[in-house]
Amino acid sequence: MSRTLQPVRGTQDLLPAAMRRHRAVVETARRHAQRFGYEEIATPIFEFTEVFKRPIGETTDIVMKEMYSFADKGGEEVTLRPENTAGVVRAVMSNGLTQSLPLRLFYAGPMFRYERPQKGRFRQFHQIGVELIGVKEPLGDVEVIALGADILDALGVRSRAELRLNTLGDAESRAGYRDALVRYFGAHAHKLSEDSRKRLERNPLRILDSKDEADIALSAAAPHFEEFLTPASREFFARVRDGLDALGIPYRLDPRLVRGLDYYTHTAFEFVTTELGSQGAVLAGGRYDGLMGVMGGPETPGVGWAAGIERLALMIAEPPPPPRPIALVPIGVEGETLALKLAQELRRAGFAVDLGYSGNLQKRMRRADRIKARAAVILGEDELKRGQAAVRDLDSGEQAEVPLAALKDRLAAFRD
């Protein structure tokens, strides 16, 4: 087959079996989000590049290496969204929703990043996520973590994932810690990886998140954020932990869990599993009180998370298959005319119905077996003259004639 007819590297076709898993994740998340009072939002798949470049930062790996950005036919610079928090915040600003705070918002959809494909990671990938906007209290952090935990529990994943928790403090805390990291890593700059030497200049917290072995070794002896927390930051984090303890949500403190962008504050968290290799984070988030201000809006607190649907889909139990259909098997012109009308009536009554359009009785019955139909309704000329249809149980092989007027009632026994 021609290369041009293959999916682009890093993308995938979600065929029916994979789509069932994908849908199970989204529907479970949507159901639980609604119980917490979150309403669904959908933002455009592409935005003006500035929506992402301004908050994420022009020198970050996401902007420099991973964003799909291009000029459209009108000459506007647009970008396929690499994440959705910035898009949701932009939507809140664009639609004047800052007058209606607090907002509880849920989303699900595709994101795009140009990075090396691997297990659970694609260039077009899908996320579910929530954003709680306009709540500055630490109980907001507890709420979004509890919602994430409930969704993972409903998916059967939570027992195989560990919640890791850290605080990034307030702006004063981060400024002091940043200076300490620059001093520490600056003294060992010759030992850092090339990427981390660049991070030292623009975003030293990201060095703590490096996967390079030399960087990891150096980070082990780096100053701890806790040493630089202000009293207000300590109190905020204590209240988050108290809330999680009250809900019985276990966690492990991880001082190396960071978010490198300046608009992140206070709580950072991840649910991490060991089942997906290096891509262990299945749900991650934190507080971003500075984001809306960076984007040109009023200073507004926010906290949320995103979770990779592909990663979660790898971990859930096999979802139930679709309902087994009723196969209509018409014979002759009269039977085909009746079958067309009957198919619509049965579907409106809630049945899954398969109607083949060609073939003799033998071929149509083979098709019924192939699609795993629960029963076949045979509409032959002799039966129709008597106002009847032959109903065959395709599991037991039993067959009986049923009056057309009583067909719906008889087929109720075969409804999955």
Q: What is the pLDDT of residue 269?
A: 97
**Residue-level pLDDT, tens digit, the chain, 416 residues:** 455 788 888 888 999 999 999 999 999 999 999 999 999 999 999 999 999 887 765 445 555 568 889 999 999 999 999 999 999 999 999 999 999 999 999 999 999 998 776 665 788 999 999 999 999 999 999 999 999 999 999 999 999 999 999 999 998 888 888 888 889 988 888 888 888 888 887 778 888 878 788 888 888 888 888 888 999 999 999 999 999 999 999 999 998 888 767 688 999 999 999 877 666 899 999 999 989 999 999 999 999 999 999 999 999 999 999 999 999 999 888 888 899 999 999 999 999 999 977 878 889 999 999 999 999 999 988 888 899 999 999 999 999 999 999 999 999 998 86
Q: What is the pLDDT of residue 88?
A: 97
**Could you tell me if 96 and 90 are in contact, meaning their C-beta atoms sit under 8 angstroms apart?**
no
Q: What is the pLDDT of residue 415?
A: 81
CATH fold for the domain made of 3-170+230-315 = BirA Bifunctional Protein; domain 2 (3.30.930)
Q: Which residues of 218-251 are buried (b: 16+ CB within 10 A; e: fewer)?
A: bbeebbebbebbeeebeebbeebbebbeeeebeb
Q: HEC states along the chain?
A: CCHHHCCCCCCCCCCHHHHHHHHHHHHHHHHHHHHCCCEECCCCCEEEHHHHHHHHCCCCHHHHHHCEEEECCCCCEEEECCCCHHHHHHHHHHCCHHHCCCEEEEEEEEEECCCCCECCECCEEEEEEEEEECCCCHHHHHHHHHHHHHHHHHCCCHHHCEEEEEECCCHHHHHHHHHHHHHHHHCCHHHCCHHHHHHHHHCHHHHHHCCCHHHHHHHHCCCCHHHHCCHHHHHHHHHHHHHHHHCCCCCEECCCCCCCCCCCEEEEEEEECCCCCCCCEEEEEEECCCHHHHCCCCCCCEEEEEEEHHHHHHHCCCCCCCCCCEEEEECHHHHHHHHHHHHHHHHHCCCCEEECCCCCHHHHHHHHHHCCCCEEEEECHHHHHCCEEEEEECCCCCEEEEEHHHHHHHHHHHCC
Residue range(s) in the chain whose domain bears CATH number 3.40.50.800: 326-414
User: Cα 151–169–294 angle (5° rounding)?
Assistant: 85
User: In the CATH scheme, what architecture does the domain 326-414 have?
Assistant: 3-Layer(aba) Sandwich (3.40)
Q: How far is CA 149 from the centre of its chain?
A: 14
Residue range(s) in the chain whose domain bears CATH number 3.30.930.10: 3-170+230-315
Q: What is the pLDDT of residue 279?
A: 61
Q: What is the pLDDT of residue 278?
A: 61
